[in-house]
Amino acid sequence: MPPLIAKWNELKDEDKDLFPLLECLSSVATALQSGFLPYCEPVYQRCVTLVQKTLAQAMMYNQHPDQYEAPDKDFMIVALDLLSGLAEGLGGHVEQLVARSNIMTLLFQCMQDTMPEVRQSSFALLGDLTKACFLHVKPCIAEFMPILGLNLNPEFISVCNNATWAIGEISMQMGAEMQPYVGMVLPHLVEIINRPNTPKTLLENTAITIGRLGFVCPQEVAPQLQHFIRPWCTSLRNIRDNEEKDSAFRGICVMIGVNPAGVVQDFIFFCDAVASWVNPKDDLRDMFYKILHGFKDQVGEENWQQFSEQFPPLLKERLSACYGV
C-alpha cells in the first residue's frame, strides 16, 4: 500500500494516470476488506471530489459550451467504481464516510447522466451502498426508484443489468415498504424476461429481482405469475446455489402460495428449477416439499403419474429422492 498511496498523493486530479491507479485500488479495497480501513478516508474523499468536479464541469459546459471544455467523464466513472469497491470491501465500515459526505446527492445526479457508462457505474454503487449502509439510501428511495424504472431498458445491457440488480437489493432492504414502487418496475422486468435473445446474465438478474420483489410484496407480484414463471424457471435452473438464488426462490414459493393457479400450466418447469438446487436450506426445502406435495394431492395419484411420465429420468429420480414425489 505505501507505494500506491505515494503515487496517489503525487498525481493531480486532472492526471489520466489516475485511471489505472483507481482501478487497482478498487480491486485492492475489495480484496483487503477491513484491512483497507487505514487508507479509506483520503481515498474516499478524493473519489467524491472527482465526481463533484466532473459534474460541476459538465454543468458549466452545458450552460456555456463556447466558454468551457467538456469534461472527461472517465474520471467520474473510475471514481464511482472505486467507491463501489470501498463499499463492497468495507461493508458497514463505509457508513461513517457516507454520513460525512454528499455522495447521495452526487449519485442522484450521476444516475441521470446522459452517458450510459456513468449510469452503469452509478447503479452498481447504489446496489453496493444499499447492502453496506441502507440507512443513508432509504431517504432517497422515492427519488431514486423512478430513475431505476426508466433505466430498465435492455438496449443498454450493462445499465439495465445494474439497475435491475440494485432494485433487487433495495427490495430486500425495504421489505413491504417496496409496495408503492412495484408498479413502476415490474412491467419492465416481466417484459425483459420474456424478450427473445436477452443475454444470460440479464435474464438471471431479472429473474432474481422479480423473485425478490415477490418475496417482499407477494400480493402485488403474484397475480402476474403466469406471465413470467416459465422463463423465470429456465433462467435460474443453471445458476449455482447462493444467497441471491435463495431469496429469489423463497419469493417464487410465497407467490405460488398466493396464486397457485399461476404456476399450473408450467409446473414441470418449476419442478425442474427446484431440482437444480444442490443443497437448499432446510426451511426452503420444506417450502419446495409442500408445493410439490400440494400439487400432487390436488391432481390425484393417477394424474400425477401421467404428469411425471413427461419428466426426464434424471429429474424424476431427483424429485423422488429429495422430496418423495
Average pLDDT over residues 238-253: 96
pLDDT, residue 299, reads 93
Domain final residue, candidates 101, 136, 171: 136
Co-location of 131 and 220 in the same domain: no
Mean pLDDT over 44-57 rounds to 97
Asked if residue 13 belongs to a domain, the reply is yes
**Is residue 144, in this structure, part of any structural domain at all?**
no
CA-CA distance, 295 to 281, in Å (whole number)? Answer: 21
Question: Same domain, yes or no, for 3 and 99?
Answer: yes
Q: Which band of pLDDT confidence, cut at 50, 70 and 90, is reported for residue 274?
A: very high
Confidence band of 36 (pLDDT split at 50, 70, 90): very high
- The answer to whether residue 173 sits within a structural domain is no
Please give the pLDDT value at position 81: 97
The pTM (predicted TM-score) of the whole model is 0.95
Say if residue 188 is in the same domain as residue 270.
Answer: yes
Residue 202 lies in a domain: yes
pLDDT (tens digit per residue) in 92-123: 999 999 999 999 999 999 999 999 999 999 99
In a domain, 167, yes or no: no
Q: Tell whether 115 and 203 lie within a shared domain.
A: no
- For position 42, what pLDDT does the model report? 93
How high is the pLDDT of residue 280?
A: 97
- 69: domain CATH number is 1.25.10.10
- When divided into structural domains, the chain yields a total of 2
**Mean pLDDT rounded to a whole number for the chain:** 96
Band of residue 311 on the pLDDT scale cut at 50, 70, 90: very high
| Spatial separation of the C-alpha atoms in residues 228 and 225, rounded to whole Å | 6
Q: Which SS3 state, helix, strand or coil, does residue 9 take?
A: helix
- For residue 231, the model assigns a pLDDT of 98
* CATH number reported for the structural domain that contains residue 311 in this entry: 1.25.10
94 with 32, same domain: the answer is yes
Last residue of a domain, one of 136, 159, 188: 136
The model's confidence at residue 167, banded by pLDDT at 50, 70 and 90, is: very high
Give the residue numbers spanning the domain of 297.
Answer: 180-324
Residues 131 and 251 in one domain: no
Distance between CA atoms of residues 269 and 230, nearest Å: 6
Examine residue 117 and state whether it is found in any structural domain, yes or no: yes
Same domain? 184 vs 120: no
Mean pLDDT of 190-198: 96
- Please tell me the predicted confidence (pLDDT) of residue 208: 98
pLDDT class of 287 with cuts at 50, 70, 90: very high
End-to-end CA distance of the chain: 57
Over residues 170-194, mean pLDDT: 98
At residue 102, the pLDDT reads 97
Residue 155 lies in a domain: no
Per-residue pLDDT tens digits for 136-165: 999 999 999 999 999 999 999 999 999 999
108 with 6, same domain: the answer is: yes
Q: Are 118 and 188 found together in one domain?
A: no
Residue 156 maps to a domain: no
With b for 16 or more beta-carbon neighbours within 10 A and e for fewer, the 228-264 pattern comes to bbbbbbbbbeebeeeebbbbbbbbbbbbbeebbebbe
85 and 198: one domain? no
pLDDT of residue 282: 97
- Same domain flag for 129 and 2: yes
Confidence of residue 83 (pLDDT cuts 50, 70, 90): very high
Under the banding of pLDDT at 50, 70 and 90, the label for residue 30 is very high
Does 122 share its domain with 201?
no
Domain end position, chosen among 102, 136, 170: 136
- As a whole number, mean pLDDT of residues 190-206 equals 97
Where does residue 63 rank: exposed (0-12), middle (13-18), buried (19+ CB within 10 A)?
Answer: exposed
57-79 pLDDT per residue, tens: 999 999 999 999 999 999 999 99
